[in-house]
Amino acid sequence: MSQEPIIHGPNEAHTHEVGNLPPHEHHGGGHGADGHHHEPHFLFKYIFSQDHKIIGKQFLITGIIWAIIGALFSVFFRLQLGWPDKTFPILETFLGHWAKGGKLSPEFYYSLVTMHGTILIFFVLTAGLTGTFANFLIPLQIGARDMASPFMNMLSYWFFFIASVVMFSSLFVATGPNAGGWTSYPPLSAIKEASLGSGIGMDLWLIAMALFVVSSLLGGLNYVATILNMRTKGMTMTRLPLTIWALFFTAVIGLLSFPVLLSGFVLLIFDRNFGTSFYLSEIFINGHALPHIGGSPILYQHLFWFLGHPEVYIIMLPGMGIASDLLANHARKPVFGYFAMIISLVGITSLSFLVWAHHMFVSGMSPFLGSVFVLMTLLIAVPSAVKVFNWLTTIWRGNIRFTVPMVFALGFVSMFISGGLTGIFVGNSALDIHLHDTYFVIAHFHLVMGVSAFFGMFAGIYHWFPKMFGRFMNNTLGYVHFFITFIGSYLIFWPMHYEGIAGMPRRYYDYTAWESFKQFQGLNSFISIVAIITFFGQLLFVFNFFVSIWKGKKVTSANPWGATTLEWTTPIHPGHGNWVGEIPEVHRWAYDYRDDGEGNDFIPQTVPLREGEEAH
């Protein structure tokens, strides 16, 4: 086992001694200076692994599977929206009695949109994104052998896995999965008679989400503890790459807001099953009056959005961090305004807790309270704007290499601008009163947190794939994937702004009976066609990903992107423990992209300062 010879004080202590390693590593972990040659059993190496890199890959692959399911659901309901008068036998093949004769039933349409939202927001863009990059990158980029608690880290994945199993099983119950929207507002979600999806499917949804929260909390605690305590010598907080900063704040937001969501769900479980009235009052349904009196459905909305809004930053921040690092790396130029980037992350993090009720402007909330949330919401545009201008300045006078990760990072910025600006519309209550719950909102949040978070994720996957698997993904397929996704996303979501301004409500199964909205039928068909093409474009990525794991071009040099950060100082195939021998010491910040005097255009963090050179 490797022993760090120097102790660097409490904050930078390297707690990766024998005692901290997972048990199976003691008898045969193939890592560290000793260089054992006994491979651990397959089960412990790949399944119940405590190696952060394997756990990261587990999150990633589970996330990819969920993404395919979630995206496929959107294709199913886009078929209905695009051609409400036609039947599609393929739907019956997939969905059985929910699409008799190839015609999707309204109940299952609502289940599909609900599950599409739940899956993509939580299982893909929270667990799949943060789970992947926080686990994979934090120890590698801060110079640690593993997470603070590898065992808890493993539990985090397995709670996510159980949550996935429960959520997946809810797709097959007789009354169908949750159909109340990903927000699942009571009373619709609380009363079994209100909707088919509010039966056992809803209970399973709530249980899965509760398990999911446990997984997020276990992961988040680990990320924060690791970043604060396990940085290598010289890796001060202000030398951390922005990806790590972003993942740090992501974890902080999750730790502070997920418990509130859980409490909201627990109360909902009580209302559903134990006769309480937290959210229910004065309800007459299905021919009889319910006994509940005195509850408030609005309470649920407050509890839900107290996580629900920070959640969009949980989804966004990792992408922001990844984009910052990749723009700098592939433009061969330091990220502009490193400290401003951190401060804007702090700003976004703190404001993210003070804007939740902008989702509730038309709930009947006090107008004065609404005005406070308008102010806070538009205030959050300031740190976001700072980030955009800093990204633009980062590529200004750079030496841009249009690698696949770079084009996705540029695409991220473009999507973030387009989606972010429309937030200024819906964040202003006087405009929201018309735009609320229309396609404008769909366009807004898909661009700003759906598509751009995916662009950040794709950029990260293409960039760190060589580190994960020791091979490259195919470039040509990567470019094709980029263009299909970039053009497709704009073609899908740009025209939706118009539908929203025209007042077209979201979550409608069919618009043909509406005098005010039926004129968009042609547009809806067009959007559906583009959505289907874009979906198949994503399969190119999946194909590329899995084939490249075994067949991709091999990585031949330890630092293929010419990056400054620590993960590229490990061997091409790092074992558990990451570095052979000692963990390198850090001497400079993560963005020294400049002439090193020897013909290179970057100076790795491990290179000591030259004589007379000042640290950033």
Partner 1 sequence: MSFIILALVVLVFVIIYQVAKASEYATALRSEEKVKAQTNRTMAWLMVAMFVLGMWGIWECHRILMPHMLPQSASDHGVNYDNMLKVTLIVTGIVFFLTQGLLFWFSWRYQAKEKTTSFYFPHNNKLELIWTTIPALTMAILVAIGLKHWFKMTSEAPANAQIVEVVGKQFNWVIRYPGKDKALGKRDFRLINDASNVLGQDWNDKANRDDIINETGELHLVKGRPVKLVIGSRDVIHDVGLPHFRMKMDAVPGITTTMWFTPIVSTKEMKAITGNENFVYEIACDQMCGQGHYSMRGTVVVHDNQAQLDAWLLMQTPYYTQNQGKKPETPAAGSGAAQPEAAGQNADSTKTLSMR
According to CB under 8 A, which residues from 115 to 174 bind partner 1? none
Binding-site member from 89, 275, 571, 608 for partner 1 (CB under 8 A):
89
Shortest distance, position 313 Cβ to partner 1, whole Å: 18
Helix axes 452-469, 475-501, angle to 10 degrees: 160
Of 13 and 501, the one with the shorter C-beta distance to partner 1 is 501
Nearer to partner 1, 133 or 465 (CB): 465
CA 183 → CA 69, 178, 351, 361, 470, distances in Å?
A: 19, 10, 21, 16, 40
Residues contacting residue 466 through CB under 8 Å, at least 6 positions apart: 472, 555, 560, 561
Q: How far is the CB of 576 from partner 1 (least distance, A)?
A: 32
- Of 32 and 186, nearer to partner 1 (C-beta) is 186
Question: What is the rounded radius of gyration, in angstroms, for the C-alpha atoms of the chain?
Answer: 25
Draw the binding track, 356-385, toward partner 1 (x: CB under 8 A; -: no contact): ------xxxxxx--xx--xx--xx-xx--x
- The helix/strand/coil state of 114 is helix
**Per-position x/- string for 272-311, each x denoting binding to partner 1 as judged by CB under 8 A, each - no binding:** --------xxxxxx-x-x---xxxxxx-------------
In terms of DSSP H, where are the helices of 470-520?
Answer: 475-501
Residue whose CB is less far from partner 1, 537 or 577:
537
For partner 1, the closer CB: 17 or 282: 282
Q: How many CA atoms lie within 13 A of 536 on its CB side?
A: 5
User: Within 313-332, which residues bind partner 1 (CB under 8 A)?
Assistant: 331-332
Segment holding 423, helix H or strand E: helix 404-426
Among all chains, which residue has been given the structure tokens 């760190």?
464
Q: Pick from 386, 529, 549, 580: which binds partner 1 (CB under 8 A)?
A: 386
Q: Which is nearer to partner 1, 40 or 423 (CB)?
A: 423
Question: How far apart are CB 137 and partner 1 at their closest, in Å?
Answer: 22
Residues 7-46 close enough to bind partner 1 by CB under 8 A: none
3-state secondary structure 267-299: HHHHHHHCCCCCCCCCCEECCEECCCCCCCHHH
Cβ proximity to partner 1, 25 vs 203, nearer residue: 203
Q: Which of residues 93-112 bind partner 1 (CB under 8 A)?
A: 106-107, 110
Nearer to partner 1, 255 or 417 (CB): 417
Cα 57 from chain centroid? 15
Which residues inside 543-602 make contact with partner 1, applying CB under 8 A? 543, 553, 591, 593-595, 601
Given candidates 65, 523, 558, 572, which one binds partner 1 under the rule CB under 8 A?
523
- DSSP state letter for 12: G
Kindly tell me which of 185 and 353 has the beta carbon lying closer to partner 1: 185
Which of 496, 512, 503, 134 lies closest to 321 in space, CA to CA?
Answer: 134
Residues 425-484, interacting with partner 1 (CB under 8 A): 425, 428-431, 433-434, 436-438, 474-477, 479-480, 483
The only residue of 188, 251, 262, 443 in contact with partner 1, by rule CB under 8 A: 188
Binding of residue 346 to partner 1 (CB under 8 A) = no
Return all residues near 20 (Cβ < 8 A) that are at least 6 apart. Answer: 146, 150
Contact between 224 and partner 1 (CB under 8 A)?
no
**Interacting residue with partner 1 among 103, 509, 525, 580 (CB under 8 A):** 509
How many residues make contact with partner 1 (CB under 8 A)? 131
Of 61-69, 190-198, 305-313, 580-588, the window that binds partner 1 (rule: CB under 8 A) is: 190-198
Q: Vertex 314, ends 506 and 128: CA angle to 5°?
A: 90
- With CB under 8 A as the contact rule, the residue among 216, 422, 485, 564 that binds partner 1 is 422
Could you tell me which stretch among 156-164, 249-257, 317-325, 336-344 binds partner 1 (CB under 8 A)?
Answer: 336-344
3-class SS of residue 554: strand
Q: What angle do CA 338, 472, 388 make, to 5 degrees?
A: 25
Q: In whole angstroms, give the CA distance from residue 313 to residue 302.
A: 17
Instruction: Report whether 74 contacts 492 (CB < 8 A).
Output: no
CB-based burial, 319-349: b 16+ in 10 Å, e otherwise: bbbbbbbbbbbbbebbbbbbebbbebbebbb
Among the residue ranges 166-174, 208-216, 519-527, 567-575, the one whose residues contact partner 1 (CB under 8 A): 519-527
Q: Which is nearer to partner 1, 133 or 265 (CB)?
A: 265
